[in-house]
Structure 1
Amino acid sequence: MTAHANYSLRDEIRDYWSDRAETFDLQVGHEIFSERERAAWHALISRHLGQGAGRTSLDLACGTGVISHLMHELGFVVTGLDWSEAMLAKARAKAQNRGADIRFIVRDAERTLEDKASYDVIVTRHLVWTLVDPKAAFAEWFSLLKPGGKLLVIDGDFVSRNWATRLRDVWEKLTAGKSRVADNECTAMAGRHKRILARVHFSGGARAGEIVRLLAEAGFDQPVVDWKLGAIHRAQARQMSWPKAIERAIQHRFAICATKPK
């Protein structure tokens, strides 16, 4: 990790995810490991955004391109944006292997430099909880949407602990080295994650109510919270240890759909 006077929190976040790129797709909840899960994601996206039909979409913090490909499969014209070159290298390789015409660009999701009113829909998965300045980010995303355009945020509170979190911790200590990939990959990565988390806006956990409030302040019509992610979680649970599956089932996870007024 680089350290100098101008090395910002945003730089640290970028480098952290770049270093995770090599093993990112090994973890359940990042890549998709079954057609059942793929169908559940398609259903969630279609429920809020409809079919693509050639409409333009922006996948913010696209990582290795999982959501970008789901959007492409539904008929959207997709741009995937991430500021990690390592993540985008994985995303581009997938697109080439699958023959998917997806545009991937290196940008900051909070400062995209994309044209105003140029997208029909924007989607984010597990981005909002990492934002440094969500007010500025939501204003930026609002500006990128065409009138009547929709934003779909898929996120959750991955910080708050409960009995299921403690159960998972005990289980992982007992089964160390047996999982597909350890959370945060190693102790050093876990330390970096903890230092970053302490300084982002939602350091105490991203809660749906607060995100709804900030989206409304940015100008979106009253956002709608969708708690019905069970089909996705049940499909993912088949690839997880039972303690982690229980934890995921009771976590504060949600999708929020917000519309830019016409």
Structure 2
Amino acid sequence: MVNLLNDIENYWSNRAEGYSEVNRGELSTIQKDKWLNEIERRLEGIPKESINILDIGCGPGFFSIILARAGYKVTAVDYTEAMIEKAKENAGELSSKITFIRMDAQNLLFDDEIFDVVVSRNLTWNLEKPDIAYKEWVRVLKKQGILLNFDANWYHHLFDDEKKREYENDRKMVASSNLEDHYTCTDIEAMEEIARKVPLSKIMRPAWDISVLSQLGVTEVNADCDVWKNLWSEEEKFNYASTPMFLVQAIK
């Protein structure tokens, strides 16, 4: 499994510049406001100045930046050093207000119950041990802390014929609409090789997430399978029509 973790790190190191460009695009458009509003409406009633947020798998820093701009105390972790460097670069002057640390999402080097909120986006599916990751995320949450995990059934089409047809139809629709194909902007072969090895590519979610978190003793867990409708750009909706993003929310 160590080799797989290295493969994942190498892949995202190579993607750092391209992924950072995507994040910068989001930060320059209304997308940043949509995402911040979605997160903040789930934190209503908690004084902002008292909220300590952990952004897991921060990538080039999108969540960390919008949350720090809004006045939250943010700690951001990612296993890929190149992503941390891009996040600092994108944060600019804000980087001094965000604590960036290279760390494995499946082995958090924090004490128990120190964060009020844990946020993550498009990470869980790409982990070797997502159940262990969830255990760690719940561990570092304070009592009544909130976990917000945005993800999708990325690459499930590699294991499901119907999903494969839907995925191929997405590619045709993107081409006919003269939009940028987000998949061709990646090293598809390398990503698919990793996706075949990680466990969640084979599993339809978020039922799995709800089951795992329930077993970890959270007081409340639910999924919003329509969250993508409010958050994705039109281009994203075309690109990922067959893999709609969901939100798993849990309260410790």
TM-score w.r.t. the length of structure 1 is 0.82
Give secondary structure in 1 for the equivalent of 2:30. helix
Q: Residues 37 and 231 of structure 1 are in contact (CA less than 8 Å); yes or no, is this contact kept in structure 2?
A: no
Q: C-alpha offsets along residues 81-102 of structure 1, whole Å, 9 cap, x if unaligned? A: 0011111111111222446611
Give secondary structure in 2 for the equivalent of 1:223. strand
Segments of structure 2 that go 5 or more residues without pairing to the other structure are 158-162
What is the aligned partner in structure 1 of residue 87 from structure 2?
Answer: 91
TM-score w.r.t. the length of structure 2 is 0.85
Q: Distance in 2 between matches of 1:190 and 1:174?
A: 21
Q: Give the root-mean-square deviation of aligned CA atoms.
A: 2.6
What is the aligned partner in structure 1 of residue 229 from structure 2?
Answer: 230
Segments of structure 1 that go 5 or more residues without pairing to the other structure are 1-5
Q: Distance in 2 between matches of 1:146 and 1:205?
A: 29
Q: Residues 153 and 255 of structure 1 are in contact (CA less than 8 Å); yes or no, is this contact kept in structure 2?
A: yes
Q: C-alpha offsets along residues 217-243 of structure 1, whole Å, 9 cap, x if unaligned? A: 11212312122332212xx11xx2xxx
What is the aligned partner in structure 2 of residue 185 from structure 1?
Answer: 185
1:251 equivalenced with 2:249 (yes/no) = no
Aligned residues: 243
Q: C-alpha offsets along residues 127-151 of structure 1, whole Å, 9 cap, x if unaligned? A: 1111211221111111101111111
Q: Residues 155 and 255 of structure 1 are in contact (CA less than 8 Å); yes or no, is this contact kept in structure 2?
A: yes
Q: Which of residues 101, 104, 107 in structure 2 aligns to 1:108?
A: 104
1:43 equivalenced with 2:45 (yes/no) = no
Q: Distance in 2 between matches of 1:249 and 1:202?
A: 19
Q: Distance in 2 between matches of 1:207 and 1:193?
A: 19
In structure 2, what residue type is equivalent to 1:140?
E
Q: Bigger CA drift: 71-80 or 155-164?
A: 155-164
In structure 1, what residue type is equivalent to 2:216?
A
What is the aligned partner in structure 2 of residue 215 from structure 1?
Answer: 213
Give secondary structure in 2 for the equivalent of 1:49. coil
Instruction: Report 1 or 2 for greater relative contact order, CA contacts < 8 Å, sequence distance ≥ 6.
Output: 1
In structure 2, what residue type is equivalent to 1:195?
E
Q: Which of residues 9, 27, 42 in structure 2 aligns to 1:14?
A: 9
- Against the structure 1 CA distance between its residues 59 and 209, is the aligned structure 2 distance closer, same or farther, given a 3 Å change threshold? same
Give secondary structure in 2 for the equivalent of 1:151. strand
Q: Distance in 1 between matches of 2:197 and 2:59?
A: 21
